[in-house]
Structure 1
Amino acid sequence: MKKVICFIFSLMFLCSSLNLTTTWHVIGIYAVYALLALLITIPITVKKREIRVSPNNLVIIYLFLIFCGISALVNNDFGTIFDTMMFAVLYIVSFIVVPILNININKTIFFAALISNLPILLVPLIVSGFDTTPYSGIFYNPNSLGTVSATIFAALLSFVIGKLESFIKNAREEHYKVKFFMWGSIMLFIFYLVILSASRTSFISSIMCTIVGIAFLTFYSIKNRKLPTLFIKGSFFSIILAFFIMLLFKFTTLYDSLYNSIFEKFETRATDGDMLSNRDQIWKQTISDAGFFGKGNHYFDNNIQIGAHNTFISMLGQYGWIPVIIFLFFLIIGFSYTVKYSLKKVDDKYKYLPLMMVINFFMLSVAEVMTFTLSMLLLFFSLGSTLTKKELLEEKTTEVIPQTKKRRKLVW
C-alpha cells in the first residue's frame, strides 16, 4: 500500500507541474483531479480505522465550501461549482482520507515530490542546456520554472534543517557528512535554477524559507541549551558552504546570473516605479469589482484579459470576499499548527516540511496563481499530516495523566 500511495502522489505531483507546460496544459490539471478522486476511495481498500477530524478545521472548510457554492449560484457559474467540488475533494483526501493510512505522510510526499519533479527540472538541462535567458526549461515561462524550483528547494531545505537538528542532538547516522553534502548540493543547484528563472517571487520565497529555517534551528538550540553546539558545528558547515559558493562564483556564471536576473530586475522596476510589473492595477480593479461573492470563473478572461498573478486575488475575483477571508483564516490556523509542531521535541526528520510549505505557498501566492499546483498540493497534504500528529500528541499526553486527576488537554 505504501508504494502504491507513493506512486499516486508522484504521478499527481508530476501532472501538477506538467500543467505548467505548453504540451500538457489542461491535461495535467484534469489528471490531478482524477488522481485526487482515486485517492478518495482509499477507505474502501483499508481495514477499519478511526477517522480523526478536527472540528474547528472542519467548520472553517465547511463554511468556505458553502460560501463558494453560494458564489457559484449567484453567478450562475458551473465552472465555480466544479472548482468548489475539487476543493472539497482535496480537503477530504488530505485531511481525512490519507491520514488514516499507517504511513509517514510528510516523508512520503517529500520523496514523491523529488521523484516526480527532479527529472523534469534536470533532464532538459542535460538535453538542451541553458538554452534561453531567463531559463524556463520545459515550462511555458520562466516564472513557472521558478515556482516549481522554489517549492522543491523549500522541501529540500526542510529536510536539511531536520538533519542539522539531529546533528546538533548528536543523533549520528552512517555516512552522515556524505549524505548531508549530497542533499545540500542538490538544494543549492535547485536554488541556482530559481536564480536562472529570474523569478523575483520565487527568489524571495526561497530566501524567506531559509531565514525562517535558520531562525527555528537557532530557537531549538537555545531552548535545548545547544547553542554552543550550533555555533561549533554550524561554523564547520558554514565554512564548507562558503567555500562551495565561492567556487560557484569563480567557475560558473552564478554571480552574473544573480545580479542580471534578480537584482538588476529589482533596480529597473524600482527606477521605473513599477515593482509589481503592473500587477497592482489588476489587483485594484479586482478588489473594486469582487463584492461578497465574486464574478465567477471567467472574470479575469472576460473583464481584465489577463491573469490575476496572485492566488488570493484570483480567488477574490472568482469567489468574492467572504470565501477569501475564510481561506486566509484557514491558512493562518494551519500556520499556527505548523509552527507549534516544528517547535515540538519529536523524533521526526520531516517535521519542518509543513512549515516550509505554508511559507512557500504564501510567498509564491503573492505574485503568482498557485491553485492546484505542486505548492498547494504539498501544503494541503503536509497540513493534514500535521493536524493528525497534533491529535496523536494530545492523546499521548492525556493517557499518561492518572485517572484520579482531572484530564487536561495539550495547549497549542
Structure 2
Amino acid sequence: GIGDGSKRYYAQHGRDFSSNKKGDRRSEKGIGGVNKSAFVSGKKFCNFARSKRVGFMKKLAVFYFALILGFSAHYSQPDLTLNYMNVSNNSIMRGHLIKVQVSVKNTGNTVSGYSSMAFWISTTTGTTSSSIFLTSVSLPSIASNSTYSFQVVYPVPYSVNLGSNYLVVYIDEKNVVSETNESNNYFYYPTILQVFNDTSGYQHLPYPVLLVHGLSSSDQTWDNFIQDVKNILGWTFGAPLDFCLNQDGNTSTAVFSNDFHDYTNMALLSSSGDFYAINFDVDNTGTPHGNNVQSNQSAIFKQGYAVRNAVQHILQKTGKKKVILLGHSMGGLASREYVQNPIKYQSDNQHHVAKIITLGTPHGGSNAGPAFSPLTPDGRSEAVRDLRTSYFYSNNPGVFLFGGLEDLGYMDDQLCCYFYNADVN
C-alpha cells in the first residue's frame, strides 16, 4: 500500500523509519484506514518529482537560449563592399597624380574591424602578375549600414603599361574581417583609363629632394633607390651635382680656397627634377667616381659648403623656394653642418631647407671604423677625424662635435701616427 511505498522511499533516501527522532513519522491510522504518515510521504515524493522536472526544464531553457545566442553570433557579421568609386581624370600620364574618390559600405548587421583596401592598375578587369600595385589604404572600423569615404592621390608609376588600363580595387585585401559575403570585395572601375607618357616635364613634389651620401661613398649609393622611385612613384631624377673637396690633392693641408671646387654642370640639371644627388667622389679634374684625392673623405666643414652650393643650384634651376635634404650616414652631418651654421646660408641669409631627413647618421659621433692607413676609409682622413666621439690615446672629446683644440696631439687617436691635419673648421 501507500504506507509500504513510503517506507521504501524513505529507506532509499536514508531515513531511519523505525526511529523516534523529531521529524520522523511513525505509522498512524488515518481516514479510511490510510496511513497518515504514508500520505504525507507520498505528497513529498510528488513535490520532489515536480522539483526535478522544473530543474530539467530550466536547464533545457538555458540550452535553447545559448543555442539561439550561438546562431545569432554566427549570423551577426559585417559585410564590406564598394559603395562608390570615381576617377577624376580618365586620361592620365606616367608620373602624374591619379585621384580616386572612394566610399566603402558595411552592409552587414554588426560593426566591422579595422581592415585595408588595395589599388592596382591593370590591363584586365582583374589582377594578374603584370598588374601594377599602386597603394594600400587603411580602413577604420565601420558601423553596420554605414559608409566610410576617402580620397586616394597617388603618382602613376612609369612601369604602368601605356594605353588602355583598368583601376582594380580589393576591399579587405588581407582578409582580416570575417564577412557574410567574402565574394563581393573585388571591383574594377568600368571606364577605361588611357595612360600616356609624360613629355611636358612635371614636378611631383612641392619641394625637390637633395640626396647626400655618406663617408667614402658617392651618388651611386642611391642608384637602387633612384630606380625604384622612378619606376614605382614616377619621380624624375634631376642629375648629380659634383664637388671635389681636396682640389690640390694635398691631405696634409686644408686651405678651403685650395681644396673646394664646384664641378656641377648646370646644363645637365633638369628644371623639373623631383630629386637630385650630391657627389663628393670627384677627382681634381672633375672626373666622377674612383678619385684618388680623398674628396669623399674630406672634412664635414667643407661638405657643408658643398650642400650650400647644391641647394643654390637646385633653387636656381627649379624656381622652387625650398629643398628637402635626405642624408645617409655622414651625409646627415653634412646636411646639419649647412643648416646649423648661418655663415653658410644663401645670399638672403636663409637656408631654404624645408626638412632634413637622416638615415643611419651618427649624430653623437662614432669611434667605429679603421684606425690605420691606408684602409678604406682612411683612418687618418679628415672625415674619420671629424666623426670621432673621442680620441683613443688623448681621451679628449671629438673636436668637430664637441669643441676643443685643433691640435694633432690633442686629437691623438692612433698608435702609429696622427691624422693628416688638424684643421677641423
TM-score band, normalised by shorter chain: under 0.3
Higher helix share: 1
Does 1 or 2 have the higher relative contact order (CA < 8 Å, sep 6+)?
1
- TM-score for both structures, normalised by structure 2: 0.19
- TM-score for both structures, normalised by structure 1: 0.20
